[in-house]
Amino acid sequence: MESWPADLDLGIKGNVHDDTVKFDDAELLGGSMDTKLSKICVWYDDFVYGIQTIYETSNNGIIVSPKRMGAEAMPCQLKYEEVHLNRDENIVAIKGSHGEIIDHVIFITSQGRNIRFGLSDGGDLFDFKIPGGVCVAALKGGFGGHLHNIGCSTTPLVQPLQYQYTYDGKQRVEYKISAGKTHKDTKIYNDIEFLKSTEGQHRIRSIKVFYNDEFVHGLEVNYIENETEIKTKGVGNQWSSSIGQATKIVLDPDEWITNIYGSFDNICNFLVFETTDGRIEEFGNEAKACNFYFEIPDGEVISGLSFGIGGHLHNLTAYYGKEPKIFKFYNQPQPSLGFSMLKSATDSVGPTHKDTTPFNDWRKLDINDLTTRLKKVTVFYDKDKIIYGFKLKWNINDEDEIEGEKHIGSEFFGWLSNGDKSSFKLKRGQYITKVYGKVDRQVKKLGFGLNTGEIYEYGGEEGKDFDLCIPPGHAVGALTGGKNGHLHNIQAWYGKIYAVPKKIPKVYYFPNAERWPNESFIGNTHSDTTKFRDKDINFNASTYRIDTIKVFYTDRIKGLQIIYEIDGKYYCGTKFKASFDYNEEEMQATMINLSYDEFIIGVRGKVSTIITSLTFKTSNGREFTCGGHEGDNVQLLVPAGECVGIIEGGKNGDIHNIKISTGPIPKIMTTMN
């Protein structure tokens, strides 16, 4: 794991006393940058007394710091607050005031929240100058009777994962309706199995109709699934471009076919398509009376077609299902300083002669730009002999392009023909991580290795081997060198690879008014039982999920708290705790922290007159058991293929019962590769 560079440690603000106990969460995290600050707990009144932090790890674990608070502090007499940071929310500024101790501290988040602890305005003001593009990664400081000082280390802002839950692609083509006939010479064109396997992300991009004034002869249906195209084409042998027409209907991403009608006798005479945008497209013999209508129910649309072809269009089947809605991923922050690909250089390899002319593209590039990525490399060479030079193209912020100069030796241009030229392109997330070859008085061979495994080699096999030695975890951002008749020397400029999510601008999903239709119950209901269930949570939202289950227990279950996530924001449910309460400090608490693609698929427990034990099983195979050993074993029903969406129950002095609501485990579409 990468550790924090020294220049990302911003030090501390405040004072250090003889009794100051220093702490640094960076040490707690083992120097790992692969974590996220997710929660801050603070004890305060006029001044700040103590602080505790919780971090999430990339493998869905949590790291909880000790309470940084002096023994003489009285927590029961202090204000206590917990701040949960949303999935894509980070601390981007810390300021406050201090004298001998911290009077107050304010955390400012990337979502514009100003969160203050401490009521005093005395002391000297402080403000950590956190650079743009970075955020707080770990807190540090010192405490005694109060919080004496505070500081932080920073890390580049991550590109937050965005997700959307969708459902089985079969729902898109669940029903079908047909018209026409099948003859001896009919050939069927059908992509239904492909459509069922698309996780609901395909759409009809275009339909091309082949026809004349009397008949419809064929169709070409073009589907697209996450930028991958599938084409089905069938045209009857009675059609030709000299006597017929071909017209393409192009559909917008949110435009769907709602009806198809027309006329089939033995073959198709007339065909009409209607779309959700109100378009009507007609083909064939418009004088024919319509004898079929695909009347698709409201709220459903056609998402697939199959058809039979002979000399003409013989039959047509439409597959339809729920109309998808579009979820658009929002713009994501760019990587920060420290991830420029243009600031570090390898040693130059190859000789410099009297006639060597150095070259670079620096006048076109901004070495401080954090979004510059190589997009294309073109190499000029003689096969099996020598390298003349190269040309580079960059992508800036995934939008703009910059063309480098053609750095080519003069010997490339011959009297009768030029040398060879080859190019390769780098897709989003692809990087050059190895540059190597052979060199003598000129560069004889040039090779490139990509992080995705591809190898590109040019030139001959003479000369001495070289490797520019790009450090692990880094990639090439630019190449420079020297040339005259040929390429004399070469140098690579590089930077740390930033894990770029796959650029998916949108996904299709299906709204569901009742995501959790099934219920299961264990326990007892007594005369004093009070029901509990979180309010004001949209359990049916398409991005809703259970993020964390916190269970309080001794030898029996004493309470539950659920944290939910909807559209990237966290919502803390109520702490539902039994009234025969121990001090929370004396109870045990287990936090079941779930990732966006992990769901509760099993719940069992032990029951007497109360709930004494609960065990939760996740779709990733993890199990968590909380509580005691007395009582009868019971199992809540979670049907195969379903997960828990709602947890509620009844309580009084203890937890009396638990009820869960379950529904289908959703498919997950994210911005990640």
Contact, 657 vs 154, CB < 8 A? no
CATH number of the domain encompassing residue 635: 2.100.10.30
Q: Distance (Å, rounded) from C-alpha 672 to C-alpha 228?
A: 17
Rounded distance between C-alpha atoms, residue 516 and residue 512, angstroms: 9
Instruction: Provide the sign of the torsion angle of the four alpha carbons 473, 371, 162, 431, taken in this order.
Output: negative
Instruction: Residue 591: name the closest of 29, 183, 41 by CA.
Output: 41
DSSP reduced 3-state for 395: strand
pLDDT tens, position by position, 484-522: 999 999 999 998 875 544 445 566 666 778 899 999 999
Both 140 and 265 in one domain: the answer is no
pLDDT category of residue 227 using cuts at 50, 70 and 90: low
Residues 619 and 491 grouped into a single domain: no
Task: Judge if 581 and 484 occupy the same domain.
Answer: no
Exposed/middle/buried for residue 649 (C-beta within 10 Å: 0-12, 13-18, 19+):
buried
Range from 9-13, 198-202, 251-255, 641-645 carrying the lowest mean pLDDT = 198-202
Q: Are residues 484 and 520 in the same domain?
A: no
Per residue, what are the HEC states of 593-613? Answer: ECCCCCCEEEEEEEECCCEEE
| pLDDT value of position 631 | 95
pLDDT tens, 233-283? 999 999 998 889 999 999 988 899 999 999 999 999 999 999 999 999 999
Residue 123 lies in a domain: yes
The predicted pLDDT at position 58 comes to: 65
In a domain? residue 477: yes
Give whichever of 195-199, 341-345, 369-373, 528-532 has the largest mean pLDDT: 528-532
Residue among 26, 28, 42 nearest 102 (CA)? 42
Contact 560, 552 (CB under 8 A): yes
Question: Largest Cα–Cα distance of the chain, in whole Å?
Answer: 102
Q: In one letter, which amino acid is 535? A: K
Q: Give the CA count within 13 Å in the CB-facing half-sphere of 32.
A: 14
Q: What's residue 197's pLDDT? A: 74
Structural domain includes residue 336: no
185's tokens? 């010479």
Where among 463, 496, 529 does a domain terminate? 496
Query: Nearest 5 degrees, angle CA 602-CA 55-CA 57?
Result: 60
Reported confidence tier of residue 5, pLDDT bands at 50, 70, 90: very low
Residues facing 206 on adjacent strands: 222, 250
pLDDT at 500: 47
The reply to whether 351 and 238 lie within a common domain is no
CA distance 632 to 609: 10
The whole-number pLDDT of residue 103 equals 95
Cβ-Cβ contacts under 8 Å for 414 (sequence gap 6 or more): none
- Give yes or no: residues 179 and 125 share one domain: no
For residue 395, the enclosing domain spans: 344-496
Terminal-residue alpha carbon distance, the chain: 20
Question: Final residue of a domain: which of 128, 156, 184?
Answer: 156
Shared-domain flag, residues 359 and 476: yes
Q: What CA–CA distance (Å, rounded) separates 283 from 261?
A: 11
Spell out the SS3 assignment of 219-235.
Answer: EEEEEEECCEEEEEEEE
Residue 503 belongs to a domain: no
Residue 492 pLDDT: 96
pLDDT band at 545 (very low <50, low <70, confident <90, very high): very high
No. of H helices and E strands in the chain? 2, 55
- Inside any domain, residue 323: yes
Hey, which residues does 45 pair with through a beta bridge? none
Over range 592-606, report the average pLDDT: 91
Q: Is the pTM of this model over 0.75?
A: no
DSSP 68-115: EE-TT--GGGSEEEEEEPPTT--EEEEEEEESSSEEEEEEEETTS-EE
Average pLDDT over residues 415-432: 84
Q: Which of 11-20, 318-327, 594-603, 641-650 has the lowest mean pLDDT?
A: 318-327
- CB within 8 Å of 446: residues ≥ 6 apart: 379, 381, 387, 390, 435, 437, 457, 458, 459, 487, 490
Encode pLDDT of 36-72 as tens digits: 898 999 999 999 999 999 988 766 567 889 999 987 7
Check residue 529 and give its pLDDT.
96
Collapsing DSSP to helix, strand or coil, 48 comes out as strand
pLDDT of residue 36: 86
Claim to verify: residue 109 and residue 173 sit in the same structural domain = no
Kindly state the percentage of the chain with pLDDT values over 70. 89
Assess whether 521 and 453 both reside in one domain.
no
Burial track 223-255 (b if 16+ CB lie within 10 A, e otherwise): bbbeeeeeebebbbebbeeeebeeeebebeeeb
Tell me if 44 is assigned to some domain: yes
Determine whether 302 is exposed, middle or buried from the number of CB atoms within 10 Å of its CB (0-12, 13-18, 19+).
buried
* End-of-domain residue from the set 328, 352, 377: 328
Q: Which residues contact 668 (CB under 8 A, 6 or more apart)?
A: 163, 164, 165, 166, 596, 597
| pLDDT tops 90 at residue 166 | no
Please identify which residue in the block is written with the tokens 């979820």. 327
Please check whether residues 372 and 446 belong to one and the same domain. yes
Does residue 264 sit in helix, strand or coil?
Answer: strand
Pairwise CA distance, residues 439 & 419, whole Å? 19
Decide: helix, strand or coil at residue 352.
Answer: coil
Q: Which DSSP string do the residues of 163-225 spell out, in sequence order?
A: EEEE--GGGGG-EEEEEE---TT-EEEE-HHHHHTSTT-EEEEEEEEEE-SS-EEEEEEEEEE
Per the domain annotation, does 208 fall within a domain? yes
Residue 333, pLDDT score: 40
**pLDDT at residue 311 greater than cutoff 70:** yes
Task: Say which amino acid occupies 198.
Answer: T
d(C-alpha 67, C-alpha 592), whole Å: 20
**Residues 413 and 473 placed together within one structural domain of the fold:** yes
Distances (CA, A) of 560 to 209, 526, 571, 592: 60, 19, 15, 11
Among 142-156, 188-202, 279-293, the least confident range: 188-202
Over residues 411-434, the mean pLDDT reads: 85
At 264, which amino acid appears?
F
- Read off the pLDDT of residues 546-561 as tens digits, 9 standing for 90 and up: 988 999 999 999 999 9
Tell me which range, 168-182, 187-201, 648-662, is most confidently predicted by mean pLDDT: 648-662
pLDDT at 156 > cutoff 70: yes
Would you say residue 448 lies in a domain?
Answer: yes
Pair 60, 169 in one domain: no
| Rounded Cα gap, residues 451 and 429, in angstroms | 9
Cα dihedral 666, 649, 571, 35, rounded to 10, equals -70
The SS3 call for residue 196 is: helix
Q: How many domains does the chain have?
A: 4
Q: Is the pLDDT of residue 360 over 70?
A: yes
* Secondary structure percentages of the chain, helix, strand, coil, to 5: 5, 55, 40
| CA 639/CA 664 separation, integer angstroms | 9
pLDDT score at 59: 61
Q: Name 527's Cβ contacts closer than 8 Å, sequence gap at least 6.
A: none
CA distance 637 to 659: 10
Beta bridge partners of residue 80, listed in sequence order: 43
